[in-house]
Structure 1
Amino acid sequence: MASEAEDPAAQAFEALRRDVASLRDDIKRIADPIDYSPTLQSIVQRLEDLKKPALSRSPIADTAAHEAANFEQARLLSGLKQQISALEGVVGRARDRRQWWVGIGLASLGGALIGAACCVALAGPIARTFPSVSYAMAKAALGQVRWDRGIRFMAHADDATWNQVATGLVLVQTNAAALDKCAKAASRGKSRTCQIQVPEPAER
């Protein structure tokens, strides 16, 4: 029995079993696990290669103790394989979780971009179809009173026409009294010529 306890194959199996168990615990604690499957498979292969030559050199070969040693080595090997499978499962689940979060992030980004593109594309049709909605959108975007927003919109749409409107407004405001008299005379069926004052153009 002392020879069985000192069997180098059994000692090697036990040492490797402890190393693999420690490796499994380390992998569970890391946030971004590395795929150790090739390394662990290599360990199993080396154990397979070690098994027969090591036992054939043991003094317990071809005895009942040899059969017991074979059984023990098979049990150890089975345990190692189970631990390797568990490690592969841990690594696989971690990889799946990481891919899931990446997919969620990409989907969110894509949704935001599509939403922004739809807002830009539909802004014009919405403004033409629903003027009140367009006004609310302009109010929210510019934060100004209605008159100032209207001036900005007209000047941006057609600067030349807006200049004509602005000039006419100045003429009406400057000659309000004279134009009022002309309007009253015209309402009584009297045609008359109205004199107006043209103010000096304002410098820009």
Structure 2
Amino acid sequence: GKEVTPGQLMERLGFKPEQLMTPIADLSGGQKRRMQLLLILLNEPNVLIMDEPGNDLDTDMLAVMEDLLDTWPGTLIVVSHDRYLLERVTDQQFALIDGKIRHLPGGVDEYLKIMEDYERANMQESKADFEASSRAVAGDSSDADSAEKSNQKYEAKLSGKAYYDATRRVSAIERKLEKLEEEKNEIEQKMASHDPSDFVGLQELNEKLQANQSE
């Protein structure tokens, strides 16, 4: 692929020239994540293993990272809930199902189909258990509670694609909240160290803080 300088790579990862002298300790969570990726890429490893690399990255930076990883010449192993990232940067997908690693020739779509089949089978099994329990306790008030518990277990069962989607939504919300908190702390630190006579600059920082808190 086309060779790039460290400076060009930093710019592609969202770092501005004036940030070159910024201490790493002063970077936000997303910036530190990008810095880690930058240092790894500069080492040019033959094998790159990444666990949820999209965490703390906004949509634009995620797209930049995907572009970089998509052209990575070495072996890339990615663990992620982001199906679009996996499909973009990897050639083969695998899933951990029932404690075993399973190859997915059909990609993420095959995984979702497997989870739907699991969910359907589990729901049918739960429904059968409930119906059998209901027949066994007909007219027996002492066993009514058992039937009710079985029914609740059937209704509350959540697995497969529904569980996958719910987990992904919760994870996305948690990452969003963490990012907002980091941005808030960064703005407050800038306000605390800002020149008190620079009213325009303070007003801009205050507007950023208000926008952050309104999200």
- TM-score normalised by the shorter chain: which range applies? under 0.3
Q: Structure with the greater relative contact order (CA < 8 A, sep ≥ 6): 1 or 2?
A: 1
More helix by share: 1
More strand by share: 2
TM-score, scaled to structure 2: 0.24
Pick the structure with greater CA Rg. 1
